[in-house]
Chain A
Amino acid sequence: MHKPDHQTACMHMVQALNQALYDEMSADETTLIAGQDIGRLGGVFRVTQNLLDHFGPNRVIDTPISETFQAGFGIGLATAGLRPIIEFQFLAFMHSALDQMIAHASRLRHRTRGQLKCPLVYRAPYGSGVHAPEHHSESTESLFSHIPGLKVIIPSTPSLAYHLLRQAIQSDDPVVFLEPTKLYRIKQEPNQRPPKLGEVYIHREGTDATIFTWGAMTYEALQVAKIYETQYQIKLMVVDVSTLNPLDEIGILQAAKASGRILILHEASAKGAVGNDIYYLIHRHLNINAKYMRQLGAPNTICPYYQNEHLFAPNQQSIMSAINEILL
Chain B
Amino acid sequence: MQKMQTKQELQQLLLQLYITQAFDHRAKMLQKTGHIGTFPSSKGQEHLFVSLANHLTINDWYCPYYRDHGALITRGMPIHALFQYWAGDERGNSAIPPHTLPINIPIGSQCAHATGIAWSLKHQDAICLVTLGDGATSKGEVYESLNFAQIHKLPILFVVNNNQFAISTALSQQSSNPLIANKFSNIISTAHIPHGPILEIDQKIKAEITKVKTTRSPLLLEVMTLRLDPHTTNDDALIYRSSKDIELDNTQYPISQFEQFLLSQNLLSAQNIQSIKTSARATVDQAAQHFLNAPSQETNHINDYLYA
Q: How close is B21's CB to chain A, nearest CB, in angstroms?
A: 27
* One of A79-87, A209-217, A222-230 contacting the partner: A79-87
Q: State the CA gap A119–B243 with chains docked (Å).
A: 49
Which of the residues B90, B109, B147, B151 comes within 8 Å of A72, measured between beta carbons? B109
B90 touches A69 (CB 8 A): no
Within 8 A of B (CB), among A164-209: 171-173
B76 to chain A, nearest CB (A): 14
Is the pair A64, B116 in contact by a Cβ cutoff of 8 Å? Answer: no
Contact across chains for A149 and B306 when beta carbons are under 8 A apart? yes
Task: Tell which of B112, B118, B308 touches A71, judged by Cβ atoms closer than 8 Å.
Answer: B112
Q: Is the CB of B112 within 8 A of A76?
A: yes
Q: Which residues of B contact A149 (CB under 8 A)?
A: 306-307
Cβ of A75 within 8 Å of any chain B Cβ, yes or no, is yes
Q: Chain A interface: which of B6-14, B33-41, B91-99, B230-238?
A: B91-99
- Among A15-23, A106-114, A284-292, the one that faces the other chain is A106-114
A-contact 0/1 string along B103-117, CB 8 Å cutoff: 001100101111111
Say yes or no: A75 contacts B102, CB within 8 Å. Answer: no
With A66-B144, A72-B141 known as contacts, the answer to whether A77 contacts B306 (CB < 8 A) is: no
Tell me the complex Cα distance, A171–B307, Å. 10
Instruction: Find chain B residues with CB under 8 A from A108 CB.
Output: 102
Find residues 33-86 in chain A having any chain B CB closer than 8 Å to their own CB: 58, 61, 63-64, 66, 68-69, 71-82, 84
CB–CB A112/B112 < 8 A: no
Chain B residue nearest to A198 in the complex (CB): B307
Task: Identify which of A96-104, A304-312, A313-321 touches chain B.
Answer: A96-104
Is B141 in contact with A68, judged by CB distance below 8 angstroms?
A: yes
B261 within 8 A of A: no
Q: In the bound complex, how far is the Cα of B226 from the Cα of A245, in angstroms?
A: 46
Interfacial chain A residues near B144, Cβ < 8 Å: 64, 66, 68-69
Q: Is A115 an interface residue (CB 8 A)?
A: yes
Residues of B within 8 A of A148 (CB): 306
**Is A114 a contact of B305 with CB atoms below 8 Å?**
yes
List B residues 116-169 near A (Cβ within 8 Å).
116-122, 140-141, 144-145, 147-148, 151
* B101 at the binding interface (Cβ < 8 Å): yes
Secondary structure of the B contact surface, majority rule: helix
Q: What's the Cα separation between A110 and B308 when bound, in Å?
A: 10
Complex CA–CA separation, A260 to B308 (angstroms): 34
Cβ–Cβ < 8 Å partners of B147 in chain A = 64, 66
A125 CB, min distance to chain B CBs, angstroms: 22
On chain A, the residues within 8 Å of B106 by CB distance are 99, 103-104
Cβ–Cβ contact A112 & B96, under 8 A = yes
Instruction: Count A-B contacts at CB 8 Å.
Output: 121
Give Cα A289–Cα B68 distance, bound, in whole angstroms.
Answer: 58
Measured between beta carbons, the chain A residues less than 8 angstroms from B109 are 72, 99-100, 103-104
Q: Are A113 and B112 in contact (CB under 8 A)?
A: no
Contact B140 A112 (CB under 8 A): no
Q: Is A235 an interface position by the 8 A CB rule? A: no
When distances are taken between beta carbons in the complex, the residues of chain B under 8 Å from A114 are 94, 304-305
Q: Is the CB of A246 within 8 A of B120?
A: no
* B interface residues, how many (CB within 8 angstroms): 35
Of listed A73, A79, A81, residue having the most chain B CB within 10 A: A73
Cβ-defined contact, A110 with B306, below 8 A: yes
Contact residue among B113, B122, B151, B305 (Cβ-Cβ distance under 8 Å from A110): B305
Contact B306 A171 (CB under 8 A): no
Chain B residues, Cβ within 8 Å of A72: 109, 111-113, 115-116, 141, 145
Check A163 for interface membership: any CB of B closer than 8 A.
no
Instruction: Answer yes or no: A117 CB below 8 A from chain B CBs.
Output: yes
Partner of A76, one of B91, B96, B116, B308: B116
Among B102, B141, B148, B151, which residue has the most Cβ atoms of chain A within 10 A? B141
Beta-carbon contact of A113 and B141 below 8 Å? no
Is residue A116 within 8 Å, beta carbon to beta carbon, of the partner chain?
yes
Any B CB within 8 A of the CB of A151: yes
Which residues of chain A have C-beta atoms less than 8 A from B117's C-beta? 76-77, 79-80
Closest to B120 in A: A80
Minimum CB–CB distance for B130 against chain A, Å: 10
Pair A100/B112 contact, Cβ less than 8 Å: yes
**B102 in complex: contacting residue of A71, A81, A111, A246, CB < 8 Å:** A111
Q: List 29 A-B contacts (CB under 8 A).
A: A61-B119, A64-B144, A64-B147, A68-B112, A69-B115, A69-B144, A72-B116, A73-B115, A77-B120, A79-B101, A80-B61, A80-B121, A81-B120, A84-B116, A100-B109, A100-B141, A109-B306, A110-B306, A112-B94, A112-B96, A113-B91, A113-B305, A114-B94, A114-B304, A114-B305, A116-B96, A117-B308, A151-B307, A173-B308
A-B pairs, 8 with minimum CB distance: A76-B116, A72-B112, A172-B308, A69-B144, A80-B120, A113-B94, A76-B113, A66-B144
Interface residues of B (CB under 8 A from A): 61, 90-91, 93-94, 96, 101-102, 105-106, 109, 111-122, 140-141, 144-145, 147-148, 151, 304-308
Please give 18 more A-B residue pairs, beta carbons under 8 A apart, in addition to A66-B147, A76-B119, A80-B117: A66-B141, A68-B112, A68-B140, A71-B112, A72-B111, A74-B116, A75-B116, A80-B116, A82-B120, A99-B106, A100-B141, A103-B106, A104-B113, A109-B306, A110-B90, A111-B93, A112-B102, A116-B96
